[in-house]
Amino acid sequence: MTLPQWFTKYANESFELGPRTFPGRIWTASGCFSYGLSAHDMKTDELASPYEGLGAVVTKTVTPDPRSGNPMPRLCELSSGAINSIGLENVGFRAFLAEVLPQLENKQVPNVVSLAASVPEEFGPMVKQLNSVAGQFQHWHGVELNLSCPNVSEGGHDFGRDPETVSECVAAARKELPDRALLVKLTPNVADISELAAAAGQGGADAVSAINTVVGLDVDLNTGQPALPRRFGGYSGPGILPIALAKVDEIINKTQVPVVGVGGIASAEDALKFFALGVQAVQVGTAQMRDPFCAAQLVRQLAAD
């Protein structure tokens, strides 16, 4: 494709975010490429791997204890995206450090670890332990605090909406993370997302990831009941692209906090809209679940000659 003249943040060029240099500006979003350990044996005529050229894989969110997730069904596919209610299913922090993170390093996957907790006080000790285990790893680039998941009844869904608590969570993590990037994933389900971004910056975040999913609901017409057992879930995909752009624009115009754009990106044109607003990088989410080569294809299409 022909890139617009204004576009200078090429996807295949390294860039600095906080204390860390990332190998590229196209990332995959948390939960949409699992832990970054699958599909390494897949290839196409153009791409040797779905990981080719990626700047980072943001891992599936990890919690202090293992989680089995919400009751099935957990995913409702729609014509313009999907509503999920996964419930942060994951192996737990201890198993992640012992089993998953070393494999990511061995496979040379550039990664950002997504962390969630039930109370703000848990973030500092988690980040401290993560740094003690992976501090010498070359491919671990940072942490993304998930303060905004709408699928868990306790924890992030509540304190991710409060600027003061967001700042508290970030400050606790920043204290234990001196030389890696610290990002905060923000909920769009608030009146003024810029207040949350500003609070994250005050706490010491290097950037915010905007946006997380929008609260949504679908109805099963066979039963007349909500399609998901927990009624509501996180709506993602093409339908939230205009919402994500508006929220990103609000953050950039009202704060000085760098932004990693996420929400509805499925094509190079989608990604360019975020870069036009001034983001530092973008994350591919729902589209990556449909096509594991989506993000890698975007790198090729948005690469410098």
Q: Which residues are identified as catalytic?
A: 149
Exposed/middle/buried for 131, CB within 10 Å: 0-12, 13-18, 19+?
A: middle
Using CA atoms, how far apart are residues 193 and 296, in angstroms rounded to an integer? Answer: 30
Q: List the one residue out of 139, 176, 160, 175 whose CA is nearest residue 208.
A: 160
Phi, psi of 148 (to 5 degrees): -140, 15
Within 8 A by CB and 6+ apart from 278, the residues are 252, 259
- Which residue shows structure tokens 């995206």? 81
Tokens of 270: 């989608």
Element holding 226 (H helix, E strand): strand 225-226
Using CA atoms, how far apart are residues 259 and 262, in angstroms rounded to an integer? Answer: 9
Could you please report the per-residue DSSP string of 19-43?
TEEES-SEEE-TTSSTTS-S-TT--
Tokens of 123: 């973030």
Tokens of 111: 């990664």
Q: In the chain, helix, strand, coil percent, each to 5?
A: 30, 20, 50
